[in-house]
């Protein structure tokens, strides 16, 4: 499966592409949150210029221990940003767990729902099915407040693969277009560094589900552990991890450092084209 249908877009994911992270938060773990709408919109435009194919707009931090954000505040943060960037022709994803925010974001022009809770909140699947937005189904063990306390799996790859298959089937049964489903192992969401590395080594097993695979490891703690670097100094580590994920089958890389990641993918692609490689592009229907 090489085309992802997301709202009015058809994204060619035969070659890996980049999703730029646009946090409209005060407490993002990576320290890049922007509560000011104009600054967030400007950053979104810059990521598009740098080669991002999708902008992932989020108003509620899901980092371990983050404070929840109420619905009105989340809407206030993300809707103006989504509206502005979608109106300029961007393929915008909304990073939220709340069905009401999903609905408003789609009305504002979002083409994709990125839910770290894999649309398990009551009402979420219905909102997605009633739209033509793509969905990213991410695995998380536990919930953000407590997920890093004691993550445990009998077999992390098998369990996550089964979970993603189950959620994708539930979405298809509810009427969501299977060409709009993306799956994601959820690096760092109820996982130890060893779990994260095991998943990255076996991404092929998740790619085999047949849905485009999204990986988000940008600036995460596992990279800090490996390099000893603070969160603001993990760009090189993030690019290396994104490239390794792409080589193992990831088709969408969710990153902060868009330009660096796009360049790294382009160089890899020039040396060692991906199977059935064609220039990655997005067409608007
Ligand atoms: C992820 C995400 C991820 C998806 C965050 C951060 C922490 N969504 N939202 N996958 N991580 N789909 O920005 O690094 O890995 S929040």
Query: What average pLDDT score do residues 11-24 get?
Result: 96
Residue 184: CB within 6 Å of ligand 1? yes
In the prediction, which pLDDT does 101 show? Answer: 98
The larger pLDDT score, comparing residue 85 to residue 273, is at 85
Q: What is the 3-state secondary structure (H, E, C) of 110-172?
A: CCEEEECCCCCCCCHHHHHHCCCCEEEEECCCCCCCCCCCCCCCCCHHHHHHHHHHHHHHHHH
Cα dihedral across residues 105, 111, 116, 118: positive or negative: positive
Residue 41 DSSP label: H
pLDDT at 37 exceeding the cut of 50:
yes
Atom of ligand 1 nearest to the CA of 136: 12
105 SS3 class: helix
Per-residue pLDDT, averaged over 89-101, amounts to: 98
Any catalytic annotation for residue 191?
no
* Atom 1 of ligand 1, residue of closest alpha carbon: 216
Q: pLDDT tens-digit profile of 107-136?
A: 999 999 999 999 999 999 999 999 999 999
Gap between the Cα atoms of 4 and 227, Å rounded: 34
pLDDT of residue 28: 60
pLDDT at 92: 99
pLDDT tens digit sequence for 219-233: 999 999 999 999 999
Distance 172 CA to ligand 1 centre (A): 23
45 has a pLDDT exceeding 80: yes
Q: How far is CA 88 from CA 17, 48, 84, 143, 151, in A?
A: 20, 11, 6, 35, 41
Catalytic residue (choose from 103, 220, 248, 251): 220
The encoded tokens of residue 247 equal 């080589």
Mean pLDDT of the chain, nearest integer:
93
CB of 191 closer than 6 A to ligand 1? no
Centre of ligand 1 from the C-alpha of residue 43, in Å: 18
Ligand 1 contacts CB of residue 139 (under 6 A): no
Kindly give the distance from the C-alpha atom of residue 216 to the centroid of ligand 1, in angstroms, as a whole number: 5
- Report residue 106's pLDDT band, with 50, 70 and 90 as the boundaries: very high
202, 234, 248, 254: which is the annotated catalytic residue? Answer: 254
What pLDDT, on a 0 to 100 scale, did the predictor assign at position 62?
82
Q: Which of 138, 181, 183, 224 to mutate to test the pocket of ligand 1 (most atoms within 8 A of CB)?
A: 138
Centroid of chain to Cα 113: 9
pTM of the predicted model, to two decimals?
0.94
Residue 202 CA to its chain's centroid (Å): 19
Nearest-atom index, ligand 1, CA of 23: 13
CB atoms within 10 A of CB 208: 12
Using pLDDT thresholds of 50, 70 and 90, give the confidence band for residue 35.
confident
pLDDT bracket for residue 275 (50, 70, 90)? low
Tens-place pLDDT, residues 161-210: 999 999 999 999 999 999 999 999 999 999 999 999 999 999 999 999 99
Is 254 assigned a catalytic role? yes
C-alpha neighbours within 13 Å on the C-beta side of residue 163: 21
Report the pLDDT value the prediction gives residue 43, as an integer from 0 to 100: 97
Identify the band that residue 67 occupies on the pLDDT scale cut at 50, 70 and 90: confident
**Averaged pLDDT, 4-16:** 97
């Amino acid at each position: 499966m090489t085309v992802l249908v997301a709202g009015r877009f058809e994204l060619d994911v035969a070659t890996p592409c980049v999703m730029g992270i646009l946090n409209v938060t005060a407490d993002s773990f990576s320290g890049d949150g922007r509560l000011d709408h104009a600054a967030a919109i400007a950053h979104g435009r810059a990521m598009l210029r740098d080669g991002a194919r999708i902008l992932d707009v989020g108003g509620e931090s899901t980092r371990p221990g983050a404070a929840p954000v109420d619905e009105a505040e989340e809407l206030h943060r993300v809707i103006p940003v989504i509206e502005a960037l979608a109106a300029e022709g961007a393929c915008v994803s909304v990073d939220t767990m709340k069905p009401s925010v999903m609905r408003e974001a789609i009305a504002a022009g979002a083409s994709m729902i990125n839910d770290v809770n894999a649309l398990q909140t009551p009402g979420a699947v219905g909102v997605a099915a009633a739209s033509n937005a793509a969905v990213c189904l991410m695995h998380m063990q536990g919930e953000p407040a407590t997920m890093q306390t004691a993550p445990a799996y009998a077999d992390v790859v098998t369990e996550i693969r089964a979970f993603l298959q189950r959620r994708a089937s539930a979405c298809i049964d509810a009427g969501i277009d299977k060409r709009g489903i993306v799956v994601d192992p959820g690096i760092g969401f109820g996982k130890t560094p060893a779990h994260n590395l095991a998943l990255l080594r076996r991404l092929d097993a998740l790619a085999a589900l047949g849905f485009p695979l999204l990986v988000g490891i940008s600036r995460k703690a596992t990279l800090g552990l490996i390099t000893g670097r603070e969160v603001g100094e993990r760009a090189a580590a993030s690019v290396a991890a994104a490239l390794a994920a792409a080589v193992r089958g990831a088709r969408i890389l969710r990153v902060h450092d868009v330009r660096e990641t796009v360049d790294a993918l382009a160089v890899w692609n020039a040396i060692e084209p991906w199977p059935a490689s064609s220039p990655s592009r997005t067409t608007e229907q």
